[in-house]
Amino acid sequence: MTGLPASFDVGERRIGGGAPCYVIAEAGANHNRDLGLARALVETAAEAGADAVKFQTYAGANVYSRFTPRFEYLADERSPAEILDAIALPREWHEPLACHARSLGIDWFSSPFDHRAIAELVAAGVPMLKIASFELVDLPLIRAAAATGLPLILSTGMASYGEIEEALQTVTSAGGTAVALLRCASLYPAPPRLLNLRAMGTLRQAFGTPVGLSDHTTGIAAATGAAALGMDVLEKHITLDRTMRGPDHSFALEPDELAAMVRGVRDVEAAMGDGVLRGPSTEERHEMYSLGRRSVHAATTIAAGAVITPAMLTVKRPGHGVMARDIPRLVGRVARQQIVEDTTVTWDLV
């Protein structure tokens, strides 16, 4: 355990402690360096019911050495640094995008990939900072982020326990007071078999912080399933159109899918309940409990004064009458009045 809290506040929203999952729509680089598209991604996130929309702030030369080999999965002849520079979020967009998000009632923040980005995002008034999985071992970057006093989200893709522990120790030593840890499979897209959603619980038990999922799978199955395991934070890439050109569009959710995911997460949260078995709810009692359940009925017309035999009784809906378990108590009693076939048998009739 780290001494970090099991829950914390971001604006008016609680993260952890049984609060509803904080859903982050990850716009990432899917703005394609078009401010209109970036604003539309913010709007898409808000309309879908996400709690936040997140971008990424970097410069290629600050992230990759010029000697870095090319990524095979991108099938791009450019160097990694060149690719990043071509898709980087213009930093002068921070303030207008943050203002646009606030006007729509949704949080806006970004993942800083260098120290300058941290200062610029703080100046833009972000409510928290998110450190990507690849940067988890950049302890100076984490130290600088923690020193801002903002809550942090740390993605843990590819990380060992020791690396996570080092990152959290760096946070606390720099004065950081709130962290959420995200389980992540660092492939794009990621196959579901690598997600290991149960590891969210392991992270919570080991480190005592809120936990969640940074989901790079296609579709919404993993995200909605993770809601049943009590995730506190969910991050999922979004796009306006998966056929757009760029490294992150192909596995991102389109607007209708994002809305479906948010609804699915909320439905699963509502369905989980508190685990207490209380019997029929008020809504069930209105009709289903009485009309849909079974009870004892007359299998044939029973004359007044007749001694009740098993052959005279059957079990049908509705459930207004004697319960089926009490048939042995009915047998041998005398009918006080004629009981017409199919009549619900109640105790006052025998």
**Stretch 23-40: mean pLDDT, rounded?**
97
Same domain, 215 and 317: no
203, 237, 272 — which closes off a domain?
A: 272
Residue in 105, 117, 82, 89 with CA at minimum distance from that of residue 12: 105
Query: Which region, left, alpha or beta, applies to residue 235 given φ > 0 means left and ψ of -120 to 50 means alpha?
Result: beta
Task: Determine the structural domain holding residue 28 and report its residue range.
Answer: 7-272
> Structurally, how many domains does the chain consist of?
2
Higher pLDDT among residues 23 and 76, named by residue: 23
Sign of the C-alpha dihedral computed for residues 217, 54, 47 and 240 taken in this order: negative
Query: Which region, left, alpha or beta, applies to residue 230 given φ > 0 means left and ψ of -120 to 50 means alpha?
Result: left
246, 272, 298 — which closes off a domain?
A: 272
Q: What angle do CA 337, 342, 345 make, to 5 degrees?
A: 50
CATH number at residue 300: 3.90.1210.10
The pLDDT tens digits of the residues spanning 36-52 come to 999 999 999 999 999 99
Q: What angle do CA 1, 176, 112 make, to 5 degrees?
A: 115
Higher pLDDT among residues 216 and 82, named by residue: 216
Q: How much is the pLDDT for 2? A: 77
The pLDDT tens digits of the residues spanning 257-307 come to 999 999 999 999 999 999 999 999 999 999 999 899 999 999 999 999 999
Q: How much is the pLDDT for 71? A: 82
Q: Tell me whether residue 107 is in a domain.
A: yes
Same domain, 261 and 290: no
Q: Tell me whether residue 294 is in a domain.
A: yes
Please state the separation of Cα 205 from the chain's center in Å: 19
> How far is residue 181's CA from residue 202's CA, in Å, rounded to a whole number?
11
pTM score, whole prediction = 0.90
CATH number at residue 165: 3.20.20.70
The pLDDT tens digits of the residues spanning 189-231 come to 999 999 999 999 999 999 999 999 999 999 999 999 999 999 9
Same domain, 233 and 312: no
The amino acid present at 115, given as its one-letter code, is: H
Say what angle helices 139-147 and 161-173 make with each other, to 10 degrees: 40
Same domain, 213 and 314: no
Same domain, 153 and 300: no
Same domain, 18 and 154: yes
The pLDDT tens digits of the residues spanning 325-337 come to 999 999 999 999 9
Same domain, 53 and 78: yes
Mean pLDDT of the chain: 96
Q: How much is the pLDDT for 1? A: 67
- Percent of the chain whose pLDDT exceeds 90: 90
Task: Kindly report the backbone phi and psi dihedral angles of residue 314, in degrees, each rounded to the nearest multiple of 5, phi listed first.
Answer: -145, 170
Same domain, 42 and 101: yes
DSSP code at position 300: S
The full DSSP string for 177-200 is --EEEEEE--SSSPPGGGT-TTHH
Q: Tell me whether residue 277 is in a domain.
A: no
Same domain, 214 and 329: no
